A and B are shown apart, each in its own frame.
Chain A
Amino acid sequence: MPLYKGMIKARLYDGTFQTCNVTGLDDTTLIGGPPVMLKGKLEDLRRSDGVIVDIDGARDKLAKKPTVNGGKPVPLDIGDTLELNDRRAVVVGIAKNTRTFQSQPIIYTTYSRAMLYAPRERKLLSFVLVKAKPGEDIARLVQRIRDSTGLAAYTQDEFKTLTVNYFLKNTGIPINFGISVLLGFIVGAAIAGQTFYNFTLENLRQFGVLKAMGTSNWVLLRMIMLQAVLVGSIGYGMGVGLTALFGYAMRNTILAFKFPWQLLVFSATGVTLIVIFAAMISIRKVIKLEPAVVFKG
Chain B
Amino acid sequence: MTSSELAVKCRQLVKTYDTGDQKIAALQGIDLDIHMGELMMLVGPSGCGKTTLISVIAGILDQDSGQCDVFGVDWLHLSSKNKLLFRAQNIGFVFQAYNLLPTLTAAENVAVPLIINGMKRQLAVRKAAELLEKVGLAERAESLPSQLSGGQQQRVAIARSLVHNPRLIVCDEPTSALDHQTGIHVIELLKSVAVASDRALIIVTHDARIFDYADRIARMDDGRIENVNAMARHSEFTKEDDNVT
A177 at the interface (CB under 8 A from B): no
B87 at the interface (CB under 8 A from A): yes
Are B116 and A295 touching (Cβ within 8 A)?
no
A214 at the interface (CB under 8 A from B): yes
Cα(A52)–Cα(B237), bound, Å: 103
Which residues of chain A come closer than 8 Å to B117, judged between CB atoms? 214
A225 at the interface (CB under 8 A from B): no
Docked complex: A198-222 residues within 8 A CB-CB of B: 205-206, 209-216
Looking at the complex, which one of A205, A216, A290, A297 makes contact with B60 (CB distance below 8 Å)?
A: A290
Which residues of chain B come closer than 8 Å to A212, judged between CB atoms? 58, 60, 87, 93
Looking at the complex, which one of A211, A214, A295 makes contact with B95 (CB distance below 8 Å)?
A: A295
Interchain Cβ contacts within 8 Å, total number: 58
Whole-angstrom distance from the CB of A211 to the nearest CB of chain B? Answer: 8
Are B55 and A214 touching (Cβ within 8 A)?
no
Are B93 and A290 touching (Cβ within 8 A)?
no
Looking at the complex, which one of B55, B89, B101 makes contact with A295 (CB distance below 8 Å)?
A: B55
Which residues of chain B come closer than 8 Å to A295, judged between CB atoms? 51, 54-55, 60, 95, 172
| Interface size in chain A (residues, C-beta < 8 A) | 17
Which residues of chain A come closer than 8 Å to B112, judged between CB atoms? 210, 213
Docked complex: A248-297 residues within 8 A CB-CB of B: 290-292, 294-297
Which residues of chain A come closer than 8 Å to B95, judged between CB atoms? 209, 294-295
Are A213 and B51 touching (Cβ within 8 A)?
no
Cα(A295)–Cα(B170), bound, Å: 10
Whole-angstrom distance from the CB of B203 to the nearest CB of chain A? Answer: 13
Are B60 and A294 touching (Cβ within 8 A)?
yes
| Interface size in chain B (residues, C-beta < 8 A) | 25
Looking at the complex, which one of A205, A214, A292, A296 makes contact with B88 (CB distance below 8 Å)?
A: A214
Looking at the complex, which one of A206, A209, A215 makes contact with B93 (CB distance below 8 Å)?
A: A209
Whole-angstrom distance from the CB of B71 to the nearest CB of chain A? Answer: 15
Which residues of chain B come closer than 8 Å to A213, judged between CB atoms? 87-88, 91, 93, 112-113, 116
Whole-angstrom distance from the CB of B95 to the nearest CB of chain A? Answer: 6
Cα(A68)–Cα(B102), bound, Å: 62
Cα(A115)–Cα(B96), bound, Å: 89
Per-position 1/0 for B75-97, Cβ under 8 A of A: 00000010011011101010111
B99 at the interface (CB under 8 A from A): yes
Which residues of chain A come closer than 8 Å to B101, judged between CB atoms? 206, 209
Are A294 and B84 touching (Cβ within 8 A)?
no
Cα(A212)–Cα(B99), bound, Å: 11
Closest 7 CB pairs of A and B: A214-B88, A291-B60, A292-B61, A292-B55, A214-B87, A209-B99, A295-B51
Q: List chain A positions with a Cβ less than 8 A from chain B.
A: 205-206, 209-216, 290-292, 294-297
Sampled A-B contacts (18; CB under 8 Å): A209-B95, A209-B99, A209-B101, A211-B60, A212-B60, A212-B93, A213-B87, A213-B113, A214-B84, A214-B91, A214-B113, A215-B116, A216-B81, A216-B84, A290-B60, A291-B60, A294-B172, A295-B54
Instruction: Please name 11 further chain A to chain B contacts, defined as beta carbons within 8 Å, in addition to the given A213-B88, A215-B84, sorted by A numbering.
Output: A209-B95, A211-B60, A212-B87, A213-B91, A213-B93, A213-B116, A214-B117, A215-B116, A291-B61, A292-B55, A294-B99
